[in-house]
Structure 1
Amino acid sequence: MYTIAVIDDDMYIGDMLQRLLEEAGYGVLRAYSGTEALMLLERRRPDLILLDLMLPGISGEEVLAKTQGIPVIVVSAKNGIQEKVSVLLDGAADYLTKPFDVRELLARIAVQLRKREQGVDGQPGCGANQNAGGQPGCGAYQSAGGQSGHGAYQSADGQPGRRAYQSAGGQSGCSAHLACGNLALDCDLREARVGEQAVRLTRTEYAILKLLMANPGRVLTKSAMLDCISADTPDCTESSLKVHVSNLRRKLMQAGGKDYIESVWGIGFKLQE
């Protein structure tokens, strides 16, 4: 069995990745900071690392420099070309930008492990890792409720182009018009309406609402929300995010007479279906 180290400070995303990988037949190690990652790598040598760059303490880039030949797939919200080029030149085997499709992640993992097995990276070949279905490194992700494709990540349900969550920055799956019940958002005009009532939004409130409406009923972690809206609202932080969401909820309640946004304690927010 191949072992994969998940190095990410977002506990919710890390839990989802662990469940996904374990159901695909992999062993999983976890680290939540750069310092913890280096301590882990002193004790264990995983077959592959999934590495977030924005870690507390020691950065992901510093961790990458100490991986000592272990293939590393960087999974990060940083989407600048220069950042990708720099990390790849510094030794990362691959780079995947958040948000991502879990099938693509599993495929990239399988490719890197196949290279390792074939000795492409100069390492001795390893035995093939197969899941219960006999396929190397593949498997369907199911939520804690046992239903495929629900929760923070979509499963491999055969639908092309499904993403872990839809972004707020005009990425795939975001129509020019979003609607949920009597709540509507015109993405071209950047206008929100509750029924016939127009709702004036700040730039950050608009980005938050667009992200939530692109993912109705799906819980989005605070860090995932910040990752998705950072390009449009670089000044938004985790502490200020709560304030922006609170102001947005108040405006929508005043216009529609009900609460459209639900807080999920300890995790994040979701739009009421």
Structure 2
Amino acid sequence: MERAADILIIEDDPSINEVVCAHLERRGYRCRQAFSGTEGLMLLREERPDVVVTDLMLPGIPGEEIVRSIREADGELPIVVISARITAADKIMLLTAGADDYLTKPFDLDELHARIDAQLRHRRTRGNAGGDATAGTREAERPRRVLVFQTWELDPDGRVFCVDGEEVALTRTEFNILELLMGRPQKVFTKQELFELAWGEPYSVEDSTVNVHVSNLRRKLKPTGTDGYLQTVWGMGYKLHNA
């Protein structure tokens, strides 16, 4: 029997924290509750959850620092932010810090459940390397597929990305975007294609999520001198460029 997914809820408003916890537990999740940023980080160190749901305006340690701390230690752990702050600048800041998704308050509990479930599906898809022991043996015997583009090397199975042999730390979403681009280096991917393939969710026309993650990738790649490999095709999307 598959174990219940563990959700860490970091929210200082007791009424919101309790109603989110009750709603998710009714749907089969196991929830742990923190009512400050400091308590949230303490619980994170004690036991790694499957998804973190966090507010931004928290006593002790603010939510932005929690997101950054998680991303520095773990590029794979899904983070869903719930916040009353709704400006485009807030959204860009969250995605730049490493959040995977966000909902603005007041939010629908069923929508939060759907967002969490989507993050768990993405994680299971990535982690489903073989199934039974026989499949695992077949996988071990199969030559490892490594994607190469100029000085980039990306190992989809090991989830490692290197430039000139030096590993570059990426978030889960950044890795997914590069895996798509390197898998078909001559193709121009529209923002809709990148979003729906990397996130597995329908794309919203006004969504700037892809732009923010590509900008983050360029920033991380700039010290390697390879940020120019990511080419913007104006009016269409992105592709790799033989810079």
Q: TM-score, normalised to structure 1's length?
A: 0.44
| Structure (1 or 2) with the greater helix fraction | 2
TM-score (norm 2): 0.49
Q: Could you say which structure has the larger radius of gyration?
A: 1
